[in-house]
Amino acid sequence: MEISPFVVVSDAPGAVFPKGFLASGVSCDVRGQGHTNRLDMAVIYSQKPCVSASVYTRNAIVAAPVKWCREVRASGKPVHAIVANSGNANACTGPQGIEDNRAMARQIGEALQIDEGAVFVASTGRIGRVLPMNRIRGGIEVAVSQLGTEPAHGLAAADAILTSDTRRKVVGVEVRTNEGIIRIGGMAKGAGMIEPGMATMLAFITTDAKIAPERLQRLLQSSVDASFNAITVDGDMSTNDTVIVLANGASGVVVEDALETEFVAALNYVCERLARKIVGDGEKITKVVELRIAGAKSDAEAEKVARAVGNSLLVKSSWFGGDPNWGRILDAAGYSGAEIVEEQLTMAYRADDNAPPVLAFADSTGCDENLAQWKEIVARKEFIIELDLGLGEGAARLWASDLTEGYVNFNKAE
């Protein structure tokens, strides 16, 4: 019997789940629409200093908060807090944006009596608009005053970072060790602009593990590659993508080589769950398709195929329509830039891991006799497509959403 190295706590309230973390989520009408009951300002805080790890967008144009966070990370100093607003990305806002961002960190620092350089800042929303600093300042003041460790505090923080998301995204796990329990909590927002390789989103993860920052950074990078970087809604990657982990050591349990395996499994789970929640809540999507590419010349080639298929408008439109149009999938694989030999290629639909693969293409031709089965599978809300290039050992996995009329309608104007 296999023993799970960690336990999922289904009602864990995100960031406040580990020991020593406080959070709050309040409303300050960042959008300027008079939606005074819509939460849009979140703070996460640990009185104990935290080591941190973080990963950012690879977009060449990054928002002011991303520039700030990179400096915080580069300083190597202990961190105490994250402040995040939704409704405005503070991107492409020039020197004013830099100054406003710093003002957010400074205000948190003064209110919590910590250095401004101990505060990560994140913003998400429309690009190109200056922050409404009067309302932001008011929001931060209230958010600090409402910090707490109750589940409601964690859930309010999780709600405050949502934009076009339709559902809150939180997760929590426990690693039960002989030295005590480590907890990891996570909250995220996604929805639009979700792209593999960047997974345009915010995710804040807290843990009470005691761990060295270099180790934490290495583990986070690997977790992110297998989770947030393996989802796609629309192929766009944002100016603001940010994943931050804060570790305050409050559990007293030290993660070194000894406990690394267990901690990694738990961290991977947290990242993968948040990523799945993001793609499953993509803007107006109706389906999530898991693409499994195998037999490529290399993992990088397999990933090219996965992204070409997962981002093809024609493929995504046909998923929306429940049409098993495998020709479009092969077409996208063909233009991915990866080496493909039509005669070596096989493709199969699969309802889930427990169901057998149903061949769609093999020996250079379609397996039309399986049409009825394909239709049943692609009618599901989730299914798997397996493509084996038959050329090598390279593999990749990508979760992709469909493309709906609702997506276009939703995004045609903000």
Query: Hey, which residues between 38 and 57 contact a copy of itself (CB under 8 A)?
Result: 57
3-state secondary structure of 144: helix
Going by C-alpha positions, the residue among 93, 88, 100, 84 that lies closest to residue 125 is 88
Task: State both tokens at 111.
Answer: 């209110």
146 binds a copy of itself (CB under 8 A): no
Site for a copy of itself in 379-398 (CB under 8 A): none
Is 346 designated active site?
no
88 binds a copy of itself (CB under 8 A): no
Element (H, E) at 261: helix 257-280
287 binds a copy of itself (CB under 8 A): no
Q: How far is the CB of 234 from a copy of itself (least distance, A)?
A: 4
Q: Site for a copy of itself (CB under 8 A): which residue of 38, 77, 106, 126?
A: 126
Q: Site for a copy of itself (CB under 8 A): which residue of 32, 76, 180, 321?
A: 321
33 binds a copy of itself (CB under 8 A): no
Strand partners of residue 7: 174
Element (H, E) at 277: helix 257-280
356 binds a copy of itself (CB under 8 A): no
Task: State both tokens at 280.
Answer: 């499953």
**Please, are residues 268 and 228 in contact by the beta-carbon 8 Å criterion?**
no
Distance between CA 117 and CA 127 in Å, rounded?
25
Q: Site for a copy of itself (CB under 8 A): which residue of 10, 11, 34, 94?
A: 94
Distance between CA 19 and CA 154 in Å, rounded?
12
Q: Which of 177, 200, 207, 404 is catalytic?
A: 200
Q: Site for a copy of itself (CB under 8 A): which residue of 86, 311, 346, 373?
A: 311
Q: Site for a copy of itself (CB under 8 A): which residue of 327, 357, 390, 392?
A: 327
Task: State both tokens at 74.
Answer: 């580069």
Q: Site for a copy of itself (CB under 8 A): which residue of 44, 91, 140, 170?
A: 91
Binding residue count for a copy of itself, defined by CB under 8 A: 71
Distance between CA 31 and CA 131 in Å, rounded?
9
Q: Which residues are catalytic?
A: 200
